[in-house]
């Protein structure tokens, strides 16, 4: 750029008198930073303009000065007021405002939160206790159902055995030792299955168990058909199989059973049709 | 107020103005109010009361905007001169001024009237307008419209029915002549 040519172009006057476009001004200011001679030329024109303006200044009455300075003071006090509340105090005011404004809001939100929290906690507790209660009752029901189902299954099984035409029912009655004892043996001689239903058998000490025996003709020893407890009352028990039996007998033996019956303690005896 | 404080340099004055020192504004008024009022009156030509109102507004603007004044961009007076010119042109375009100028309702008449007015008012002209008198008439009118009425080059080109390039060239030439007169 030929700076001298630029200086002579009239841009200085355009700029100084406020007639330059924004882009012209930007360019001029940028070039001023680069070219001291441009600044010097600008300053020269500015000084000429100022000198001329001062030389042609209008006389003003002192009343105008008072008015103008009063207006400035009004602006200053208004501005000071503004500044008082704009700078630290205004920040304080704004904080107060925001505190005041949001403190109500915050308080509301806080209160609402607490209420909500309590409500939520209450509901949670309600749901939790309701849930665990339901779980408990559900488990209880399940257990009950299981035992009922088990009982039912056994009854159904018992019924099916009882109703089976091949099944022989042997009614065992109490001996003199235990006159009130009674039990039924369901015996299917075709497949040798033996089932026992305890009707009434007295409770035994924990080291004793009842043992069922099959008395078979021609055999020296009664055949062991397994042990059972008195608490198996009314429930059909699957005992060991036997093809033959003239009679069934129940004795009291030590827990786990004995190889041969203690006949002294025979509690019940039932003869089969094979015995007749 | 005590003893008036003396500001030895413009820089000192500017600093005091930025500190919002009352004395600085009093000094500023004493030094420049007349010159600024002269410019205002060259724009608000026919209403001294409004011109005086504008002067007051100019000083309030100086007080408010002094922090934005950048010495690297020009002298303090140049900055104030532009504030005065802008405030005057704003007043010229304001409703209150328009209402006081009921005779000139049609814009075209305003433009024509402006041109005529400037010729007529040259007799009383002062300040920069006195310098304008020395310009060629076609330059003078353009300067009048651009500087004292605040019209853009485009607006002037339209209202004077001359090409934009011509407007720019003539204003540039007018400004260069102005510089010579001011030297």
Find which of B69, B74, B85, B134 to mutate to test the A interface (most A CBs within 10 Å of its CB): B74
Contact B140, B121 (CB under 8 A): no
Mean pLDDT of A31-48: 93
Please tell me the predicted confidence (pLDDT) of residue A41: 93
Segment-wise mean pLDDT, segments of 10 residues, chain B, 183 residues: 69 91 91 92 87 94 93 94 93 81 51 43 56 79 86 87 90 85 76
Please tell me the predicted confidence (pLDDT) of residue A232: 63
Decide if A53 and B38 are in contact by the 8 Å CB cutoff.
Answer: yes
3-state secondary structure chain A: CCHHHHHHCCHHHHHHCCCCCHHHHHHHHHHHHHCHHHHHHHHHHHHHHHHHHHHCCCCCCHHHHHHHHHHHHHHHHHHHHHHHHHCHHHHHHHHHHHHHHHHHHHHHHHHHHHHHHHHHHHHHHHHHHHHHHHHHHHHHHHHHHHHHHHHHHHHHHHHHHHHCCCEEEEEEEECCCCCCCEEEEEEECCCCEEEEEEEECCCCCCCEEEEEEEECCCCCCCEEEEEECHHHECCEEEECCCCCCCEEEEEEEECCCCCCCCHHHEEEEEECHHHC
Mean pLDDT of A49-63: 87
Q: Is A15 exposed, middle or buried (0-12, 13-18, 19+ CB in 10 A)?
A: buried
A149: pLDDT strictly greater than 90: no
Instruction: Tell me how close the Cα of A66 comes to any Cα of chain B, in angstroms.
Output: 9
**For B178, nearest residue in chain A (alpha carbons):** A13
CB neighbour burial string for A225-244, b if at least 16 within 10 angstroms, e if fewer: bbbbbeeeeebbbebeebee
- Of B25, B35, B56, Cβ closest to residue A53: B35
Please tell me the predicted confidence (pLDDT) of residue B4: 59
Contact B146, B153 (CB under 8 A): yes
Q: Which residues of A touch B22 (CB under 8 A)?
A: 69, 72-73
A85: pLDDT strictly greater than 70: no
Find which of A58, A74, A78, A87 to mutate to test the B interface (most B CBs within 10 Å of its CB): A58
Contact A251, A263 (CB under 8 A): yes
pLDDT band at A146 (very low <50, low <70, confident <90, very high): confident
A14: pLDDT strictly greater than 60: yes
Q: Per 3-state DSSP, what percentage of chain B is helix, strand, and coil (rounded to 5)?
A: 80, 0, 20
Answer with the residue of higher pLDDT: A235 or A189.
A189
Find which of B10, B13, B30, B35 to mutate to test the A interface (most A CBs within 10 Å of its CB): B35
**For A25, nearest residue in chain B (alpha carbons):** B73
Please tell me the predicted confidence (pLDDT) of residue B116: 42
Please tell me the predicted confidence (pLDDT) of residue A112: 82
For the ranges A77-81, A252-256, B120-124, which has the lowest average pLDDT?
A: B120-124
Q: Which residues of B touch A20 (CB under 8 A)?
A: none
Residue B183 corresponds to which tokens in the numbers above? Answer: 């030297």
A51: pLDDT strictly greater than 50: yes
Answer with the residue of higher pLDDT: A126 or B118.
A126
Mean pLDDT of A117-133: 83
Contact A79, B64 (CB under 8 A): yes
A252: pLDDT strictly greater than 80: yes
């Amino acid at each position: 750029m030929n700076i001298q040519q630029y200086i002579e172009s009239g841009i200085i006057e355009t700029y100084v008198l406020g007639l330059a476009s924004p882009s012209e001004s930007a360019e001029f200011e940028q070039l001023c930073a680069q070219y001291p001679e441009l600044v010097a030329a600008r300053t020269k024109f500015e000084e000429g303009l100022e000198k001329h303006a001062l030389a042609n200044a209008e006389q003003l009455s002192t009343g105008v000065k008072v008015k103008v300075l009063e207006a400035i003071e009004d602006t200053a006090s208004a501005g000071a007021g503004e500044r008082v509340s704009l700078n630290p105090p205004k920040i304080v005011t704004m904080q107060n405002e925001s505190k005041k404004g949001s403190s109500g809001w915050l308080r509301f939100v806080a209160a609402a939160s607490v209420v909500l929290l309590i409500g939520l906690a209450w509901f949670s507790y309600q749901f939790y206790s309701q849930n665990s209660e339901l779980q408990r009752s559900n488990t209880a029901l399940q257990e009950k159902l299981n035992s009922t189902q088990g009982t039912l299954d056994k009854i159904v099984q018992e019924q099916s055995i009882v109703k089976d035409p091949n099944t022989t029912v042997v009614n065992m009655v109490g001996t003199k030792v235990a006159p009130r004892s009674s039990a039924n043996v369901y015996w299917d001689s075709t497949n040798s299955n033996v089932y026992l239903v305890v009707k009434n058998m007295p409770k035994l000490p924990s080291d004793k168990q009842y043992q069922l025996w099959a008395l078979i003709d021609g055999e020296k020893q009664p055949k062991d058909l397994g042990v059972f407890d008195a608490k198996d009352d009314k429930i059909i028990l699957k005992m060991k199989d036997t093809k033959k039996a003239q009679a069934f007998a129940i004795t009291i033996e030590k827990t786990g059973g004995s190889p041969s019956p203690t006949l002294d303690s025979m509690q019940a005896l039932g003869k089969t049709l094979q015995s007749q | 107020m005590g003893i008036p404080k003396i500001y030895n340099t413009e820089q000192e004055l500017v600093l005091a103005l930025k500190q919002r020192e009352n004395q600085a504004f009093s000094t500023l008024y004493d030094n420049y109010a007349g010159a600024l009022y002269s410019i205002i009156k060259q724009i608000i030509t026919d209403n001294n009361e409004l011109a005086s109102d504008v002067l007051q507004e100019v000083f309030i603007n100086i007080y408010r905007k002094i922090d934005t004044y950048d010495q690297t961009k020009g002298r303090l007076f140049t900055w104030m001169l532009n504030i005065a010119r802008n405030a005057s042109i704003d007043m010229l375009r304001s409703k209150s001024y328009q209402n006081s100028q009921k005779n000139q309702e049609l814009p075209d008449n305003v433009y024509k009237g402006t041109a005529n007015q400037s010729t007529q008012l040259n007799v009383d002209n002062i300040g920069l307008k006195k310098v304008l008198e020395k310009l060629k008439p076609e330059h003078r009118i353009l300067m009048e419209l651009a500087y004292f009425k605040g019209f853009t080059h485009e607006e002037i080109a339209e209202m004077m029915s001359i090409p934009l390039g011509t407007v720019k060239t003539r204003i540039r030439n007018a400004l260069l002549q102005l510089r010579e007169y001011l030297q």
